[in-house]
A = this chain, B = another copy of it.
Amino acid sequence: MDIKQNIFVAVDAVVFGYSSAQGLSVLLIKRKNEPCKGCWALPGGFVRNGESLEDAIYRELHEETAVKINYLEQLYSFGLPTRDPRAQVVSVTYFALVRPDAFEIKANTDAQEAQWFALNNIKKLAFDHHDILEVALKRLRGKLQYEPIGFELLDKKFPFSELENLYSSVLNRPLDRRNFKKKIMKYGLLDQTDEVQKHQGSGRPGKLYSFNEKKYFELKQRGILFEI
């Protein structure tokens, strides 16, 4: 190739996790290199030669956070020449969801630390990572309403109230328990198990449900998508 391009390609991910105690949380790493050494930032890094974008983000997530990713999709590409002070860096960003049991993390190569932050407790972030987070949140809110993506943030088996709390907290509005259940159950995507919730403090324990992926793919095939 006879062109002289001084542009680098990076990948970054917005990884969301959820628990009813903490609400929606984002996984951040503390940068151990300049620029912005010590700042919190989205996990990510430069793509290696010969590596696909997806491979790159999986590798970086593994190196930096060792968190088990449950859902991943591309989010948006950011390319303002000024977004990184070192050089022009185009960042292809990803949107990821993890299950509650992934709230255990360990820090590695590129980061001195990786840590979950509740959404309403986010510090200043490095580079334009705040903008990226904003776009990711918008995507999450949007998708939650027309694809059954919420299940990817919950355990394989969960009480119904957990799903309702997730929706209510991410969408930032109260939901009517009865109507919400009717809407969800209408699609036949949830199987009721014979188990109930254990030790949740006080109150009646809820029955546990599981997401039926097979029925989901059937519905998707027929082009019928779900809507809250």
Contacts and interface: CB of A to CB of B under 8 A. Distances in A.
Contacts of A81: 49-52
Contacts of A5: 8-9, 46-49
A215 B4 CA distance: 47
A169 interface: no
A79 B47 contact: yes
Interface size of A as a range = 20 to 34
**How many copies of the shown chain assemble into the complex?**
2
A7 B9 contact: yes
A88 B46 CA distance: 14
Nearest to A7: B9
A1 interface: yes
B88 A49 contact: yes
B47 A7 contact: yes
A123 to B, nearest CB: 26
B50 A88 contact: yes
B53 A90 contact: yes
Interface in A1-43: 1, 3-9
A77 interface: yes
A217 interface: no
Contacts of A115: none
A53 B82 CA distance: 12
Interface string A47-78: 11111110000000000000000000010110
Interface of A: 1, 3-9, 46-53, 74, 76-77, 79-81, 86-88, 90, 92
